[in-house]
């Protein structure tokens, strides 16, 4: 099966502005031996047809292979987070998975998903829809740890009702070819949308994050914050577009990305982009790129900490900023003690 031979699927073209710098050809023209829907090992989940029309064609890859969507409805407060662990082990296989997470009115929920692969030449295309009812809150944390030669496409579509909060944190650890795509159309008031990510890459890894946030309603907040720590020959793309329309008075829209390049060959392409049609708002965007602070390194070394360890300590401090933002203590512990070896 080749993705570019699926009938009726209009794949993104690398000439499209959005996909500049992302080379999807190798993935889309690869001949996978098998196609499978990745099934959750949870009994009794509701299944629906995903009939929504998405503004990004990337959602259509999963849907054109299997448009069934599982649904998790959270309608009571739960003490512990829900953990969903995805392990891709079969070689040469294209997997799909689609899930809707619904959080009912006034409910607080926490969900963690871990995506790990130990296969060869496989791909995983995942669609997520988040529906947050009024005054609900969801803390969602995603860990991606895909092995080299594997590809991962993750699409997130968010629908938030009034006064709801989504705290969305991503940890990109793997060695594969990764594309994340986040869409949130903010159509209700007093919404909070925090999207954070740590992109920690090495070797020849390639990880792209495409983020689109549209503010249509008043008094909502979107805050996008990504840290990149890039080694060896790795390459990261960060494209965040936040649009604040005329109807979205008193919006707060923030975008920030910081990158530490740890080798001469590591590359970041960072493009924070704000499109604003009103005056009454708070907005900022920024991107920094550099190496570790040499004054800080010197200070640690001057107290006897050898250079390599000082380097490690400072890098960890930079990377941990994202984990520190996690509100749920169980999830925070989980991230702090996460090891790939536990899952492969």
Partner 1 sequence: MKNTVLKIEDLEVSINENKILKGLNLEIKEGEVHALMGTNGAGKSTLVKTLSAHYDCVVTNGVITYKKKNLLDLDVSQRANEGIFMSFQSPIEVPGVNNSYFLKTAMNEKRKYAGLEEIDAMEFLKHVKEETAKFNIDRKLLQRDLNDGFSGGEKKRNELIQLLMLQPDLILLDEIDSGLDVDAIKTVANVINSMLDGKRSILMITHYDRLLELIKPDFVHILNDGKIVKTGDYSLALELDEKGYEAIGIKDESK
Site residues for partner 1 per CB under 8 A: 294-296, 298-307, 309-310, 313-314, 316-318, 320-321
- Which residue, 217 or 314, has its beta carbon nearer to partner 1? 314
Residues in the chain: 344
Token pair 């009726």 is found at 8
- Which residue, 112 or 310, has its beta carbon nearer to partner 1? 310
CB of 40 to partner 1, least distance (A): 36
Spatial CA neighbour of 7 closest among 65, 54, 59: 65
CB of 316 to partner 1, least distance (A): 8
Q: Is 135 left (phi over 0), alpha (psi -120 to 50) or beta?
A: left
- Which residue, 195 or 310, has its beta carbon nearer to partner 1? 310
- Which residue, 7 or 294, has its beta carbon nearer to partner 1? 294
CB of 295 to partner 1, least distance (A): 5
- Which residue, 305 or 344, has its beta carbon nearer to partner 1? 305
CB of 336 to partner 1, least distance (A): 13
CB of 302 to partner 1, least distance (A): 6
Number of Cβ within 10 Å of residue 132's Cβ equals 28
Spatial CA neighbour of 21 closest among 268, 245, 255, 195: 268
Spatial CA neighbour of 103 closest among 128, 71, 80, 137: 137
Cβ(180)–Cβ(210) below 8 Å: yes
CB of 298 to partner 1, least distance (A): 6
CB of 51 to partner 1, least distance (A): 46
What's the first-to-final CA gap in the chain, in angstroms? 26
User: What radius of gyration, in Å, describes the C-alpha atoms of the chain?
Assistant: 20
Q: How far apart are CA 139 and CA 342, in angstroms?
A: 23
- Which residue, 89 or 316, has its beta carbon nearer to partner 1? 316
How buried is 246 (Cβ within 10 angstroms: 0-12 exposed, 13-18 middle, 19+ buried)? exposed
Q: How far apart are CA 125 and CA 333, in angstroms?
A: 28
Q: How far apart are CA 103 and CA 112, in angstroms?
A: 14
Query: How big is the CA angle at 164 (ends 162 and 170), to the nearest 5 degrees?
Result: 140
- Which residue, 110 or 258, has its beta carbon nearer to partner 1? 258
Token pair 């080299």 is found at 148
- Which residue, 17 or 295, has its beta carbon nearer to partner 1? 295
- Which residue, 204 or 319, has its beta carbon nearer to partner 1? 319
Residue 58 half-sphere exposure toward CB, CA atoms < 13 A: 27
CB of 257 to partner 1, least distance (A): 17
CB of 66 to partner 1, least distance (A): 43
């Amino acid at each position: 099966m080749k993705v570019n031979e699926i009938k009726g699927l209009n794949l993104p073209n690398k000439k499209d502005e959005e996909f500049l710098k992302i080379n999807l050809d190798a993935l889309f023209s690869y001949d996978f031996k098998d196609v499978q829907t990745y099934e959750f090992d949870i009994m009794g989940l509701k299944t629906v047809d995903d009939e929504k029309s998405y503004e990004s064609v990337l959602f259509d890859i999963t849907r054109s292979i299997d448009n069934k969507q599982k649904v998790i409805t959270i309608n009571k407060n739960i003490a512990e987070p829900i953990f969903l662990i995805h392990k891709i082990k079969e070689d040469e296989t294209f997997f799909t998975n689609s899930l809707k997470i619904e959080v009912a009115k006034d409910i607080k929920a926490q969900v963690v998903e871990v995506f790990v692969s130990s296969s060869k030449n496989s791909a995983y295309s995942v669609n997520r829809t988040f529906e947050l009812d009024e005054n609900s809150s969801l803390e969602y944390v995603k860990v991606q740890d895909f092995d080299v030669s594997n590809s991962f496409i993750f699409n997130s579509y968010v629908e938030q009702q009034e006064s709801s909060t989504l705290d969305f944190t991503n940890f990109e650890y793997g060695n594969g070819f990764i594309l994340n795509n986040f869409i949130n159309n903010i159509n209700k008031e007093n919404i909070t949308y925090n999207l954070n990510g740590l992109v920690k890459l090495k070797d020849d890894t390639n990880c792209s994050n495409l983020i689109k946030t549209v503010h249509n309603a008043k008094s909502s907040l979107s805050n996008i914050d990504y840290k990149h720590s890039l080694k060896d020959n790795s390459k990261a793309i960060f494209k965040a577009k936040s649009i604040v329309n005329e109807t979205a008075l008193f919006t707060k829209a923030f975008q920030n990305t910081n990158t530490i390049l740890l080798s001469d060959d590591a590359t970041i392409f960072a493009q924070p982009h704000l499109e604003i049609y009103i005056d009454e708002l708070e907005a900022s965007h920024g991107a920094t790129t550099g190496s570790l602070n040499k004054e800080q390194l010197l200070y640690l070394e001057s107290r006897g900490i050898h250079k390599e360890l000082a380097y490690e300590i400072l890098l960890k401090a930079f990377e941990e900023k994202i984990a520190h933002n996690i509100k749920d203590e169980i999830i925070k512990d989980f991230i702090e003690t996460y090891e790939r070896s536990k899952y492969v």
